[in-house]
Amino acid sequence: MSALKLHGIVPPVVTPLTPDYQVDEVSLRKVIRHLIDNGVHGLFLLGSTSEVVFLNAKQRADAIRIALDEANGAVPAVCGVMDPTTDRVIENARQAKELGVDGLVVTSQFYPRTSQNETIVHFSMIREAVDLPIVAYDIPVCTQLKLSRETLMSMYEQKLICGLKDSSGDDGNMRMVMKDFEDKPDFSILTGSETTVDYALLGGAHGNVPGLGNVDPAGYVRLYEAAQRGDWDAARAEQERLIRVFQIVFQGVPHTSPNASGVGGFKTAMHLMGLISHRHMSRPNQLIPDAGVEKIRQILTETGLLH
Amino acid sequence: MSALKLHGIVPPVVTPLTPDYQVDEVSLRKVIRHLIDNGVHGLFLLGSTSEVVFLNAKQRADAIRIALDEANGAVPAVCGVMDPTTDRVIENARQAKELGVDGLVVTSQFYPRTSQNETIVHFSMIREAVDLPIVAYDIPVCTQLKLSRETLMSMYEQKLICGLKDSSGDDGNMRMVMKDFEDKPDFSILTGSETTVDYALLGGAHGNVPGLGNVDPAGYVRLYEAAQRGDWDAARAEQERLIRVFQIVFQGVPHTSPNASGVGGFKTAMHLMGLISHRHMSRPNQLIPDAGVEKIRQILTETGLLH
Amino acid sequence: MSALKLHGIVPPVVTPLTPDYQVDEVSLRKVIRHLIDNGVHGLFLLGSTSEVVFLNAKQRADAIRIALDEANGAVPAVCGVMDPTTDRVIENARQAKELGVDGLVVTSQFYPRTSQNETIVHFSMIREAVDLPIVAYDIPVCTQLKLSRETLMSMYEQKLICGLKDSSGDDGNMRMVMKDFEDKPDFSILTGSETTVDYALLGGAHGNVPGLGNVDPAGYVRLYEAAQRGDWDAARAEQERLIRVFQIVFQGVPHTSPNASGVGGFKTAMHLMGLISHRHMSRPNQLIPDAGVEKIRQILTETGLLH
Amino acid sequence: MSALKLHGIVPPVVTPLTPDYQVDEVSLRKVIRHLIDNGVHGLFLLGSTSEVVFLNAKQRADAIRIALDEANGAVPAVCGVMDPTTDRVIENARQAKELGVDGLVVTSQFYPRTSQNETIVHFSMIREAVDLPIVAYDIPVCTQLKLSRETLMSMYEQKLICGLKDSSGDDGNMRMVMKDFEDKPDFSILTGSETTVDYALLGGAHGNVPGLGNVDPAGYVRLYEAAQRGDWDAARAEQERLIRVFQIVFQGVPHTSPNASGVGGFKTAMHLMGLISHRHMSRPNQLIPDAGVEKIRQILTETGLLH
């Protein structure tokens, strides 16, 4: 496996959509520029925040092609290949490789009831089929399976994975994973949290994949840089401001689903900030209602992101 | 919505595979003949037991085309269109309609965290896009969302669904759903259970979608016919024999996953009985180990299915 | 272990309370007479429906003493001994034995995270300490642990248990347990369901522990007797009427908790029917609001229980 | 409510037992001295780690009396009053108050299915009955109910609670709770984690209730003091050493339950270190097997706690 060592702020790039639900090229280029100009260290294309499982092969290809073209190699770009089962993930992975991504981000299977051992087989088949570095993605709220400490170490030792994106919300277990891997310098661990990034960096995480980084990449970069220089007071202050911004994800429910409230919150904020032309998500996600939009506008104003 | 009122035994048809993981046409035709010749009342193509989420568009099309051709209209054939999100389900549904199925079987979304209300929107968009009757499929163990009584009634009243396949395992709730719909003669309710079919029929269910019906369709047809004529002693006796057969689904774990143990158990039995050429499932499902195969052979012998 | 083979309708007796939250002797005697006069086959004192974990040792003793005195040996009486851990259960069990109950009903531990193996040890210690027959009580919604088929069989073979009350709601698994025990005539299996009792009896269950049996014991006795004589049409018709009555348990939420809505529904109905003097539950359960009371009155009237 | 503002290291004191399962006074006094001499800032008597729900009223009274006597007012002592329901909690609370504790630690109800609103009523009844400050204890793994942000704020505003012990493992939500309460200087927030204490302190938590603090109070005090002076490198280094020690809790499973593995790990370590005379827990918890004891000895030796 060619080397890939992610670090720093690697946002899961939002996928802006046109009114007819295709990838909005103008907006996506603007988002990529916004992220790179604000100093992010990598791009995670087609993550959960990118509505990946809502997109078909063409839409996924469009999103990858446009993002890579706009990024032009400024930072490494990894790509989610989420689908329920192994060979369908491999189809996605082959397309992503052909389009030039630097690595894959892979979850366990979902919909079928799977197991830790089967997950290792799943990763090994993907690894065998497509010659790209793989970051394991632990997101049990979507997949129903938590990648165990033993599974992660076994996959590392079999050279199946080069890193972990932990979106499990279980910071205590992630801390122990970081200890398990402390003498494996070629393995990178990133937290998917938006609200405990200073924690993870204090604990030795190499980086962060914050959905909210689409809205405020500069904030997350400042947080990361403060942590890098050991200025934990500054890191915490930045994190606390970002927690205030993060409240934008709670303005849709109960009108919408948790998914539409979260990603919809990001898109609504980016639309208000002039970053994307439309704030709607893929079908059937419903728009955040007007009261929620106003609350998001207020949060952005109070936290200095909207003037 | 054109009328579709399913009843009786409607097995979720196993998808036999060739050594290179394509649809095994010869075996699939044999399975369809086996089912129809033994008196099943309908076919459920591309259910969870059919490994639907493991199959790509071409494989799904092959399975539908071959099955419909072999069935030749002898019984109605509905088709699962499972994928994580609405527009991808619609793509599957369009293909299925074009190939000539009589109805669709639709779950809630999965992977994204969804809600009851969003699920109603999801169904309404599919209904709008593809003019085919829709059976709601409640399988929370795979989707993480249980379709509530209120959601089912709302979807019926909006003319979105014409039936329910209940694979939730919650027979008490299903019983109340049957009461909720007792004066809706155009709505059909089928249980996805293998082991409480006599129960469901006693409670007024119109039919059954048993994965084990691939192995022993005649048994389930006898069970259904006994229930139809009110001979509950005969129905129970048949059910009890089928419960003994059903133990074939527990012979893989812990070696395999729950999914590979269950569907793998069916395929192993069908292979032993000479119905399909190969017993493997789609990747990454592992084969049931030899000891499990022997146990399955023993169960089939003891229950009169293998001589 | 002295023999105890429960069968038939064994309601979990509601515990009526005085305004100062003590056992209401007059009402409890009335309830016991109501049950026995209507033909129940046993009494389950201090079940979940009896608010057992809300009651201290004195209240539990009062409830047992009054109930046994009023029943006067007309039917066997078993007693729940629920508390979080082994030795506290044993204290409850000793008191219950001293007061003269015929058997104990025992759950796994709760609050501490336990396991199947530890549960077997838990039962064996109780069995060792108190010489009374034990019925295992499977209620994972309260305890977080489902008693597995293997655990039940192991406990039976070690002579720790003589029966099962299954309140798991998993009728498919319970069906397989009934098959597992089909050649053990000294083991009795009762369902805790209110809505699938005809199912369970068809499947071979020996009896039923219905909370709703406090409200309508005659209905459940008719159901049981119909099943005994193989008249499944009559059993189903009675069950369907009882399902309509059962809707009284849904009239409290969201105002109250699920527990207060369920047991509160029973108590409200019994109060409206003149069986108990007060309808409140132990603290902190809130009363079902007026609109719910009216709905309960309407349900009772429509189902012939109130005139 | 009289003021109580907990801070610093407040270990949940292990309850050493004699061979006949009574409170081992000599050992408990030794433990209390060990904690106070090593600088802890408070004592949490009768927490989950203290096996509280395994102890009857007399055992609980013994544990409180001995601990308070030995502590002699050196640090504040709060007391868990865990039992399934409100009035039984109040009985425990009255005894604890009479014995002289400084505050109560209260969970939601468990075993009955409860709700957020009912939990607020539960707390208000306890608050009304016993005049002692109350710390809310969020431990959904035991109670099945997570205290929501809204519930916590509502209870604070009604002057029902003066603090939170968060053992939910959801550090992201706890972080938002800390932001919610940032302008409430009379409310104290403590984490129940052993492995992310530096995180919580960085985020503004006032203290920590570490079960492992029984084994290594000096380590947690050093961690807290490093955080207090803003030396996050030192805090992290201490935390990382403590994570290595924490692996003692995984040496029992699968032989024992998760509870017996965790608390049993602490007791085994304390026995090896000469702090308590016996390492067994209350029944039915099984001893950690010899191989686990050896592993614990090795961990203690490698981390400098055993020589």
- Residue A80: its H or E element: strand A77-80
C165 is catalytic: yes
CB contact under 8 A, D199 and A196: yes
Per-residue pLDDT tens over the stretch B105-128:
999 999 999 999 999 999 999 999
Q: What is the predicted pLDDT for the residue at B250?
A: 97
Identify the closest residue of chain D to A171 by CA–CA distance: D171
CA distance C280 to C293: 12
Q: Is residue A116 less than 8 Å (CB to CB) from chain B? A: no
Mean pLDDT of A145-172: 98
| Interchain contact B/D (3 or more Cβ pairs less than 8 Å) | no
Residues 216-255 of chain B whose Cβ lies under 8 A from any Cβ of chain C: 230, 232-233, 236, 239-240, 243-244, 246
Per-residue pLDDT tens over the stretch C212-242:
999 999 999 999 999 999 999 999 999 999 9
Q: Is pLDDT of B59 > 60?
A: yes
- The phi-psi region of residue D145 (left if phi > 0; otherwise alpha if psi is between -120 and 50; otherwise beta) is beta
List CB contacts (< 8 A) between D114 and chain C: 257-259
**ipTM for the predicted complex:** 0.97
Q: Give the helix ranges, DSSP H, for chain A.
A: 25-37, 57-71, 86-99, 116-129, 140-143, 149-157, 171-180, 197-202, 217-228, 232-246, 258-272, 290-302
Side-chain-side CA neighbours of A193 within 13 Å: the count stands at: 23
Burial of C282 (0-12, 13-18, 19+ CB in 10 A): buried
- Could you say which of A30, A97, A156, A165 is catalytic? A165
The fraction of chain A above a pLDDT of 90, given in percent, is: 98
CB contact under 8 A, B87 and A141: no
CB contact under 8 A, C256 and D113: no
Q: If we measure between CA atoms, which residue out of C263, C217, C266, C257 comes closest to residue C238?
A: C217
Q: Is pLDDT of C193 > 90?
A: yes
The fraction of chain B above a pLDDT of 70, given in percent, is: 99
Which subunits have 3 or more CB–CB pairs within 8 Å of chain C? B, D
Mean pLDDT of C268-275: 98
List CB contacts (< 8 A) between B82 and chain A: 111
A/B interface, count of CB pairs below 8 Å:
120
Residues 184-213 of chain C whose Cβ lies under 8 A from any Cβ of chain B: 193-196, 198-199, 202-204
Predicted confidence band at B88 (pLDDT cuts at 50, 70, 90)? Answer: very high
Of D175, D198, D232, the CB nearest to A196: D175
Residues sharing a CB contact under 8 Å with residue C25, sequence separation 6 or more, in sequence order: C62, C66
Q: What is the residue type of A117?
A: N
Average pLDDT, chain B: 97
Tokens matching residue D55:
């102890």
Which of C21, C49, C92, C111 to probe by mutation at the D interface, max D CB count within 10 Å?
Answer: C111
Strands (E) located in chain D: 8-9, 43-45, 77-80, 103-106, 134-138, 163-166, 188-191, 207-208
Specify whether the CB–CB gap between C163 and C4 falls below 8 A.
yes
Predicted confidence band at A11 (pLDDT cuts at 50, 70, 90)? Answer: very high
CA distance A227 to A239: 11
Tokens matching residue C293:
């009371």
CA distance B126 to B91: 10
Residues sharing a CB contact under 8 Å with residue A148, sequence separation 6 or more, in sequence order: A116
Q: Is pLDDT of D269 > 60?
A: yes
C247 three-class SS: helix
Identify the closest residue of chain B to A48 by CA–CA distance: B112
Identify the closest residue of chain C to D142 by CA–CA distance: C111
| Interchain contact D/C (3 or more Cβ pairs less than 8 Å) | yes
CA distance C127 to C159: 9
Q: What is the predicted pLDDT for the residue at A9?
A: 98
Of C176, C196, C198, the CB nearest to B195: C176
Specify whether the CB–CB gap between A231 and A32 falls below 8 A.
no
CA distance C284 to B52: 49
CB contact under 8 A, A260 and B110: no
Of B171, B176, B230, the CB nearest to C243: B176
Per-residue pLDDT tens over the stretch C139-187:
999 999 999 999 999 999 999 999 999 999 999 999 999 999 999 999 9
Per-residue pLDDT tens over the stretch D136-169:
999 999 999 999 999 999 999 999 999 999 999 9
Predicted confidence band at A220 (pLDDT cuts at 50, 70, 90)? Answer: very high
Average pLDDT, chain A: 97
| Interchain contact C/B (3 or more Cβ pairs less than 8 Å) | yes
Residues 265-294 of chain C whose Cβ lies under 8 A from any Cβ of chain D: 282-286
Residues sharing a CB contact under 8 Å with residue A20, sequence separation 6 or more, in sequence order: none
Specify whether the CB–CB gap between C133 and C2 falls below 8 A.
yes
C/D interface, count of CB pairs below 8 Å:
121
Q: Is pLDDT of D2 > 70?
A: no
Predicted confidence band at C253 (pLDDT cuts at 50, 70, 90)? Answer: confident
Q: What is the predicted pLDDT for the residue at B253?
A: 83
List CB contacts (< 8 A) between C143 and chain D: 111
Which subunits have 3 or more CB–CB pairs within 8 Å of chain A? B, D
List CB contacts (< 8 A) between B126 and chain A: none
Identify the closest residue of chain B to A144 by CA–CA distance: B144
Predicted confidence band at A253 (pLDDT cuts at 50, 70, 90)? Answer: confident
Residues sharing a CB contact under 8 Å with residue A31, sequence separation 6 or more, in sequence order: A13, A14, A16, A214, A270, A275, A276
Top-confidence residue, D262 or C254 = D262
CB contact under 8 A, A203 and D193: no
Q: Is residue B143 less than 8 Å (CB to CB) from chain A? A: yes
pTM, to two decimals = 0.97
Which of A15, A48, A85, A106 to probe by mutation at the B interface, max B CB count within 10 Å?
Answer: A85
Mean pLDDT of C34-58: 98
Q: If we measure between CA atoms, which residue out of A129, A207, A130 comes closest to residue A163?
A: A207
Q: Is pLDDT of B80 > 80?
A: yes
Q: Which residues of A32-46 are buried (b: 16+ CB within 10 A; e: fewer)?
A: bebbbebbbbbbbbb
CB contact under 8 A, D243 and A175: yes
Q: Is residue D173 less than 8 Å (CB to CB) from chain C? A: no
Q: Is pLDDT of D255 > 90?
A: no
CA distance C34 to chain B (A): 27
The fraction of chain D above a pLDDT of 90, given in percent, is: 98
List CB contacts (< 8 A) between B48 and chain A: 111-112
Tokens matching residue C251:
């009239």
Per-residue pLDDT tens over the stretch A91-108:
999 999 999 999 999 999
Per-residue pLDDT tens over the stretch B65-78:
999 999 999 999 99
Of C170, C176, C243, the CB nearest to B243: C176
Tokens matching residue B223:
């069970």
Q: Give the helix ranges, DSSP H, for C54-212.
A: 57-71, 86-99, 116-129, 140-143, 149-157, 171-180, 197-202
Per-residue pLDDT tens over the stretch B203-228:
999 999 999 999 999 999 999 999 99
- For chain B, the residue count is 307
Residues sharing a CB contact under 8 Å with residue C269, sequence separation 6 or more, in sequence order: C215, C248, C296, C300, C305
Q: Is B49 annotated as a binding residue?
A: yes
List CB contacts (< 8 A) between D169 and chain A: 170-172
Query: DSSP characters for C5-74?
Result: ---EE--B----B-TTSSB-HHHHHHHHHHHHHTT-S-EEET-GGGTGGG--HHHHHHHHHHHHHHHTTS
List CB contacts (< 8 A) between C202 and chain B: 198-199, 202, 232, 236
What's the DSSP call for residue C106?
E
Q: What is the residue type of B137?
A: Y
Tokens matching residue A63:
């999103």
Mean pLDDT of C239-253: 97
CA distance A144 to A258: 16
A235 three-class SS: helix
CB contact under 8 A, B175 and C243: yes
Residues sharing a CB contact under 8 Å with residue D298, sequence separation 6 or more, in sequence order: none
Q: What is the predicted pLDDT for the residue at D253?
A: 83
List CB contacts (< 8 A) between B265 and chain A: none
Q: What is the predicted pLDDT for the residue at C2?
A: 57
Q: Is pLDDT of A243 > 60?
A: yes
The fraction of chain C above a pLDDT of 70, given in percent, is: 99
Mean pLDDT of B178-186: 97
Residues sharing a CB contact under 8 Å with residue A215, sequence separation 6 or more, in sequence order: A245, A248, A266, A269, A270, A273, A300, A305
Mean pLDDT of D284-293: 97
Nearest 10 degrees: CA dihedral of C152, C157, C163, C169? 10
Nearest 10 degrees: CA dihedral of C51, C56, C62, C64? 60
CA distance A258 to chain B (A): 6
Q: Is pLDDT of B151 > 80?
A: yes
Of B110, B144, B257, the CB nearest to A114: B257
Per-residue pLDDT tens over the stretch C76-93:
999 999 999 999 999 999
CA distance D286 to D293: 13
CA distance A173 to A170: 6
Per-residue pLDDT tens over the stretch C119-148:
999 999 999 999 999 999 999 999 999 999
CA distance D188 to D62: 28
CB contact under 8 A, B243 and C179: yes
Which of D196, D201, D208, D242 to probe by mutation at the A interface, max A CB count within 10 Å?
Answer: D196
CA distance A143 to A113: 9
Residue ranges of A for the binding site for pyruvate? 49, 209
List CB contacts (< 8 A) between A12 and chain B: none
| Structural domains of chain B, with CATH | 8-231 (3.20.20.70)
CA distance A81 to chain B (A): 13
Mean pLDDT of A292-301: 98
Q: Is residue C91 less than 8 Å (CB to CB) from chain D? A: yes
Mean pLDDT of C198-205: 98
CA distance B79 to A290: 39
Identify the closest residue of chain B to C237 by CA–CA distance: B203
Predicted confidence band at D120 (pLDDT cuts at 50, 70, 90)? Answer: very high
- Residue B295: its H or E element: helix B290-302
Strands (E) located in D46-162: 77-80, 103-106, 134-138
